[in-house]
Chains A and B, each alone.
Chain A
Amino acid sequence: MLMNGAQAVLESLKKEGVDVVFGYPGGAVLTLYDAVYNMNFRHILTRHEQGAVHAADGYARATGKVGVVFATSGPGATNLITGIATACTDSVPLVCFTGQVANPYIGKDSFQEADIFGITTPITKHNYLVKDANELPRIIKEAFFIARTGRPGPVVIDVAKDVFDTQIDYVYPDTVKLRGYSGKYEGDEKEIDTVVAALKAAKKPLFFVGGGINGSDTAEEMGLILDKLKTPVASTLLGLGTVAADRPGYLGFAGMHGAYGANMAIQECDLLLCVGMRFSDRVTGKVAEFAPHAKVVHFELDLAEINKNVNADLRVLGDLRWSLPIFRQKIFAADDDFAARFAPWLEHVTAIHVAHPFGYKEEGDVIKPEALIAKVSELSDENTVAVTDVGQHQMWAAQFFKTYRPRHFLTSGGQGTMGYGLPAAMGAKLGKPEQKVILFTGDGSIMMNCQEFATIADNDIDVKVIVVHNSILGMVGQWQRLFYQHHYSQSELKGKTDFVKLAEAMGVKGYRLTKKEELDSKLPQILAEKGAALIDVIVPEEEDVLPMVPGGKRLDEMVLGD
């Protein structure tokens, strides 16, 4: 079929099952946007390209589908960089189409020219510069395949402007031919046998579940394994929701601000079964003394992650969709009453966990941030998708918001991208329109992409935005209190900004809560209302996120709250 490059892009998106694109037009993508107009393709116009890429990320994390972004050349494309890096570190599948200047202008420092192929190389799973329109169908097919298979990640397709205008005889390929990439990760079953043997020898095993379970949609399989083995289980930040918050033996998330019980269990266990996680420095503490008594097992698809930060004594290399069902079958067939043998250990760890829950002190009439999040959690059902920005509120959300299902806690973990939250929540809601979406953000983070209130209002996207408003960059302030003699260097936000008016100015309802009693008298109605709302919640400035493993310390050297 004859069509131009722009139509070929949209035709290919349809074939890939894409139902919405997030983007922002500009000179190099005018023809592409003309095709959007003519084909009436569903497109959400964000108010900044960074909003578009985070929205696509939120959409992808919530749905498991590939998020798609359009942006123009030069500054349009460079505005995507933070979002692409965020998606890359957290293994989120995106396909980003960026316009490039027309072929004859490439390399001439032309208007709105930037080397997006070069710039995005270290922050993408793969990227392309398309100079020949005939290559477009093959490249789009490959891009979606690469983004969604294996360890998911972002793919950038930089398309020269004239490629969109060039007529081609369009045929979308059925298959992908890549010599260096199959997208299949089936490993060696014998590796699983060694893990079963290790389990039989173990007395104190602990599962440690990560974002890979979200990414591979294997939470159910993981649940069956835990049902059988009845071991305690800890999560990473990105693993939240892969194990239901109310599962017996679930210890919460581990790491720098993680649960005391989870960290202690890691340091005490004799077999640590790590599933789909990558041993970030935020989760290991002092890496040389991480899990000192444990044989470490690593279920992982990406060979480069094995032994990268923590040496694995045993590995199961392969897709969790392959390894976990086989592992389940083998432990169900094993001649060992695992649950009974592990019961004393489970009881021991659970007792530590129960004795040291996440806590906080009430102070008179003020709203404590932890109490706020606990209250929102109580008012939310199991289908609620929680999204966070980055900073203190993010850690409190991880601690106090109870997540029961995979893909229901969306946060920028690896990059810690402030400004992620609002657009990501918007994307999540578009992907899951039937589910409630609540964003926890801070008065620092929200300003980094607050222009997206306009997008939310104009598209009637029902997101409840809870601003944990402490008038400081809370996490920066906490470190300045602890390690920099209380010098609040450039971290105080005691400005004149009125967040309620800010939201209202863009067409979103705004509310302000200042007193503890309002968590009961006002919050439930606000959350139950239809339509987007910002809830500006005034909280005390000097509240620390605790417990805490100070940088370079072991996980069992946590500083506890009082």
Chain B
Amino acid sequence: MKKYLLAVLVDNKPGVLTHVSGLISRRAFNIESISAGYTEEEAVTRINIVVSVESENELDQVVNQLSKLIDVIKIVNLTKYDSIARELVMIKVRATRETRAEIIDVVNVFRANIVDVTPENVVIELTGQQSKIDAVIEVLSEYEIIEIARTGAIALSRGPVPVKKM
């Protein structure tokens, strides 16, 4: 299985997410993550999908089927371009007086941030590539991870050309 990051520009209208997620489920595509948000254009929402497929053919199916949705304006496979992908994670870790210093060391090594501290836990925020996030989670799992929230990957291509002009 190989992963690809798709940038999907859609009309910012009610029901669009239903259409996109409905299609993904109907065609039984494997989705690693999906996130959506506003863009520089008010009428346009950008959906970032990481899809996991067996072959290029299967990837073409995902792209072509999504392209057929009336409210999909444009799809670009950013994996094909030189692009920067990032994901945000927040991790709530049990932190006692004995372990807190060690956890802070880990946070510093990974250049993550601590955004909340209580006598019992810390909340760590980290932005990075998926591999880096996986690594920090692995290290922190030595302590008790209470909760994780991840956004899934988003990406932009390098250089001045936006997805809508690709």
Contact = CB atoms under 8 A, between A and B. Distances in A.
Contacts of A1: none
Given A180-B70, A181-B70, A304 B18 contact: no
A177 B15 CA distance: 18
Given A118-B18, A122-B22, A122-B25, A180 B64 contact: no
B67 interface: yes
B70 A122 contact: no
The bracket for how many chain A residues form the interface is 20 to 34
A146 B70 contact: yes
Contacts of A179: 11, 43, 73
Contact of A122 (B26, B72, B73): B26
Contacts of B71: 126, 180
A178 B43 CA distance: 12
A178 B70 contact: yes
A308 interface: yes
A166 interface: no
A81 interface: no
B134 interface: no
Contacts of B60: 307
Contacts of A118: 18, 22
The bracket for how many chain B residues form the interface is 20 to 34
A510 B55 CA distance: 57
A475 interface: no
A24 interface: no
A129 interface: yes
Contact of A125 (B57, B70, B72, B73): B70
Contact of A303 (B18, B57, B67, B72): B67
B65 interface: yes
B151 to A, nearest CB: 25
Nearest to A145: B70
A129 B74 CA distance: 23
Interface in A291-332: 302-304, 306-308, 311
B68 interface: yes
Contacts of B10: 180
B83 interface: no
Nearest to B74: A180
A72 interface: no
A121 B19 contact: yes
A300 B10 CA distance: 25
Nearest to A311: B57
B23 interface: yes
B67 A127 contact: no
B61 interface: yes
A146 B18 CA distance: 18
A128 interface: yes
A22 interface: no
A121 B70 contact: no
A117 interface: yes
Interface in A513-546: none
Given A121-B22, A122-B22, A122-B26, A304 B15 contact: no
Q: Which 9 residue pairs across A and B have the least CB separation, nearest first?
A: A304-B64, A121-B22, A122-B26, A126-B70, A180-B73, A179-B73, A181-B70, A303-B64, A304-B65
8 contacts: A118-B22, A121-B23, A122-B23, A126-B70, A179-B11, A180-B11, A304-B68, A307-B60
